[in-house]
Amino acid sequence: MSGSNNEKVMFSCGKLKLEGVLHIPPNAEQKKAVVVCHPHPLYGGNMHNSIIITVAKALEKKGLIALRFNFRGVGKSEGYFNDGIGEKEDVRAAISFLVNLVKPQKIGLGGYSFGTLVAFPVAVEEDRVQALAGISPFISPPTLLGDYYRPKYFISGKEDEYVNCHQLQEIVISLPEPKKLELIAGADHFWWGEEEKVAQKVANFFKENL
């Protein structure tokens, strides 16, 4: 990554050090910031995933600060994969790092695929998370976000091999407002060629709801 407003960072999660990239726009709007969580580490997921990078850049262009980071055991992040349990602590650590560094007035949390499995439970428990977005989301259990009354946005491909769009629709219907679900025709779990479209939609959501 190049560019003066992209900064490589290291931050602590307990005894571990995690690596990330901070996207800071020149006109950071009222210090709004979003943490972005990457796909499954055991299947090649990391903060350099094309969806994750494109979302972070789109947020930056909208005047929002974005932090993408590697979960434990990925890239230069210390530790080992921890079945999504330790990874929740990684998400909390990323939020705390942002809060301490840029003192944002509002924080959003977004995830892609596996990233939603760890981001969603953290959002439920974290008062600091004021808007939530999931790309190709796994809402597990289906009742997980039943008490989350803050803005929620979900986007999934109609051809997704891992997320059943009909089941997802039923779950989202059961969730409290405010919420929005978009199902994209022709798109699968990996969003080849659709990265920019997804990123713009996610960035617009956070711009409007933070």
The pLDDT confidence band at residue 27, using thresholds 50, 70 and 90, is: confident
For residue 2, pLDDT over 60 is answered with no
Residue range 55-97, pLDDT digits in tens: 999 999 999 999 999 999 999 999 999 999 999 999 999 999 9
Cα 124–chain centre separation: 14
The pLDDT confidence band at residue 26, using thresholds 50, 70 and 90, is: confident
Global pTM reads 0.96
Residue 127 lies in a domain: yes
The total number of structural domains in the chain stands at: 1
Residue 1 lies in a domain: no
CATH value at residue 63: 3.40.50.1820
Contact at 8 Å (CB) between 89 and 119?
no
State which residues form the domain around 90: 6-209
Tokens of 9: 């960072």
| CA gap 37, 5 in Å, rounded | 20
| CA gap 148, 131 in Å, rounded | 10
- Name every residue whose Cβ is closer than 8 Å to that of residue 68 and which is 6 or more positions away in sequence: 20, 21, 23, 36, 38, 47, 52, 53, 55, 56
Torsion of the alpha carbons at 178, 185, 141 and 143, rounded to the nearest 10: 30
